[in-house]
Chain A
């Protein structure tokens, strides 16, 4: 889908995605635990938001005019920390502190610990409601800022998501865009086998949302969908981002054992070699 975005810009975003994957894998290996698969599947979404779409001032994390991002699938924290770091919210050496005592990068996002993190998430199902609250406050204050909330597909099994989905459309939250990282897996196995969430588009449309179904690793597609979401009036938007769990690393892609397992040193080296190769091909 052509978005008119300059090919040089797309190339730069691809470079940033590679850097994010490098950061994520190094952080997880250093931490010795964490969620590899679901951090790698959200990379292009986060890079599109933080390096193309969203307005913010990283030297002023509470800048009132900023757009807001809520990582409802809080276990994707490593990817968020990487983009926040590369966006300038905190220095690179913070990345080594992930999951460590005394570090500011907690296992799951905490607003009082990490600059740029808006709310606390990690227990699934609670981010969309919080995003609604932020969107309501922005509307009350007459601010044009937008709110983005990223959910997992397994997370959609939480009942609170559907309570929140009703609230978003009831209160006409057109300043809200939710995204589902549809990587088809949850911790115990394929989403469809564990507890089917389908039909996904029909469900959200029935709840009053504008829905797009896209390739969640294609920058043109993501940027186009984000733009159309912004143009939508009087209803919230949902982007179903079809992704690959563990995207970018051949031996991690679709291997669900990496849901909550960090790469060891050998796996890290192999993964970094793959990413280096990908970089040369850009």
Chain B
């Protein structure tokens, strides 16, 4: 079993390091700084940290004002509030003028778990992806999170970084390279391609191992930038394998699966399946139980891959 590390912790620690290097970085939070880990930055740099109270709309617009004056804000709250409650503020104040605001949305997806449907953001990638100028990133592990936080600081323009509540297995070593907009093929295979994002990357790797034991070689792609999508990589793995399975901890509407389907539909259509939450709300439960309940376990990926292979065979 891999070491389990929280991407939130890595975010908080990396932001402190970046804050030491760059005076223009400021952080904002909406009364969730302990959970999002922005409190680490606030403790180290109290003069550059703004707790806005429970007011996400005000936070995003304030972050825009700070960015318009040369600061580089990291605005953190839970994904459901960051994306949903403040969507129009992000659209008008941040995306339209293309400001350097990094929206860091923790507690994304179903694995928020026990808090239930009210707090599970399963639509955030869809509604953020629709915004012009927005870049959308989701790390697969702690190593990638660190690289990603540094990359989004350097990127000019708005970014939505989705993190999770639960700990992720560490998949990558120190040599791992992350580049905004570039997918990483992290396992080769000729029979089908599994394109996954976030927590589902580790699940997909496990599934690929099981498929290999059954004689099926799946290529696994870590699609950590959802927008702009690495369409070149998507087309290449589709061409190589002839079948594509997407896996995400998000609605099948509008997220990774949609983005991949859009790209393949215009470039190289092959049989594909989108695994995700099938247009329904979540419920309370333990994160792993919920993944099982909504058809996102390793075993489910193995089964979908088998079905897809049969479709591919015609």
Contact B58 A167 (CB under 8 A): yes
Contact A163 B69 (CB under 8 A): no
A189 within 8 A of B: no
Q: Total contacts A to B, CB within 8 angstroms? A: 100
How many of chain A's residues have a CB under 8 angstroms from any CB in B? 31
- Given A134-B68, A167-B55, A171-B50, does the pair A129, B97 have CB atoms closer than 8 Å? no
Stretch of B87-95, B108-116, B262-270, B294-302 at the chain-chain interface = B87-95
Contact A137 B97 (CB under 8 A): no
B175 within 8 A of A: no
- The binding surface of chain B is classed by DSSP as helix
Contact A138 B55 (CB under 8 A): no
- Given A110-B96, A112-B98, does the pair A130, B64 have CB atoms closer than 8 Å? yes
B62-86 near A? 1/0 per residue, CB < 8 Å: 1111111111000000000000000
> In the complex the two chains form, what is the Cα distance from A125 to B47 in whole Å?
27
> In the complex the two chains form, what is the Cα distance from A133 to B100 in whole Å?
13
Contact A137 B92 (CB under 8 A): no
> In the complex the two chains form, what is the Cα distance from A134 to B62 in whole Å?
8
Nearest B residue to A127 via CB reads: B61
Point out the residues of chain A lying under 8 angstroms from B57, CB to CB. Answer: 125-126, 129, 159-160, 163
Contact A131 B96 (CB under 8 A): no
A118 within 8 A of B: yes
A74 to chain B, nearest CB (A): 9
Given contacts A112-B96, A120-B92, A133-B61, list 15 more A-B pairs with CB under 8 A: A120-B93, A126-B57, A129-B65, A130-B68, A133-B65, A134-B68, A134-B69, A137-B69, A159-B57, A160-B55, A160-B57, A160-B58, A164-B58, A167-B53, A167-B55
**What residues of chain A have their CB less than 8 Å away from a CB belonging to chain B?**
110-112, 118-123, 125-126, 129-138, 140-141, 159-160, 163-164, 166-167, 170-171
**What residues of chain B have their CB less than 8 Å away from a CB belonging to chain A?**
26, 47-48, 50, 52-53, 55, 57-58, 60-71, 88-89, 92-93, 96-98
